[in-house]
Amino acid sequence: MAACKNIVIFGATGMTGLATLAQALQAGKRRGAPRCLGTDRGCTGGAEPEGGTRCRFQSCLRHSLPLGVSAGDPLSPPRTSGYQVTVLVRDPARLPPEHRPARVVVGDVLNPPDVDKAIQGQDAVIVILGTRNDLSPTTMMSEGTRNIVAAMKAHGIRKVVVCLSAFLMWDLKKVPPRLLPVTEDHIRMHQILQESGLDCVSVMPPHIADDQPLTGDYTVTVNTSGGARVISKHDLGHFFLKCLTTSEYDGQSVYLSRNYAKV
């Protein structure tokens, strides 16, 4: 498959989104010059910011690594020639200074023009939409996904990796009642993507752990759940990026898991 150099992340300010963003940015630094992250006084706020100029302060050319990963670490993200990352966010202040992508589009996934602006010029899309701690009935994720699919088709983009829920592999009668409304919107998301005809990888993780490391070593099962019932946010982000380098999982529902050492 063609290399995916330009990518857009929807849902980049959530727990998993930030972990994925950090790894995507690091992948772009291993083979290219470090990028200004807008962290030093006098900096214009990022490499090639829209309407700005490149920062001349060499001290702010620093690397951002995922927690527990050092430069040259073999567990760093899948090797690429570097990603140019765009994110669509409602509040750019939620992006940590050390995780500044090449392009930040301020907007809402429910607003088609905002989505279209973010999609322009991309090779692939990563969707990590969520409701944080709000478990009430919602159509935000499915409506946002519908807008993303429409924009992808308008711009001729085929590759999309989406984070859903392992509950989609369960009998719905066994899903905890308090989680059913959000699960139902995940089902709507999945249906929209299945009917889209796009090259979609539906990643359906179990519990996403905030306190476990990046290992790059996890179990991948297709169209069924099994094994452990946890995956770290870092390993999940690692797999999202891996999917951009292969067509192996296109059109599949994928479950990730790993047995982590107890802390």
Whether this prediction's pTM lies above 0.75 is answered by yes
Cα 9 to chain centroid, rounded:
5
CATH of the domain at 65: 3.40.50.720
User: Which tops the pLDDT comparison, 179 or 44?
Assistant: 179
Q: What is the pLDDT of residue 29?
A: 60
Identify whether 262 is part of a domain.
no
- Token output for 194: 């299945």
Is 163 marked active-site?
yes
In a domain, 1, yes or no: no
Distance of CA 246 to the CA centre of its chain: 16
Residue 243 bears catalytic tag: yes
In this prediction, what percent of the chain has a pLDDT beyond 90? 70
Distance from C-alpha of 77 to C-alpha of 203, rounded to nearest angstrom? 17
**How is residue 12 annotated by DSSP?**
T
**56 has pLDDT over 50:** no
Assess whether pLDDT exceeds 60 at residue 210: yes
Mean pLDDT over 128-150 rounds to 96
What domain range includes position 178? 6-257
Q: Which of 4, 55, 200, 243 is the catalytic position?
A: 243
Query: Is-contact 58 47, C-beta < 8 A?
Result: no
Residue 175 has pLDDT above 70, yes or no: yes
Look at residue 263 and tell me if it is in a domain: no
pLDDT of residue 2: 67
Question: Out of 4, 60, 163, 200, which one is annotated catalytic?
Answer: 163
Residue 81 lies in a domain: yes
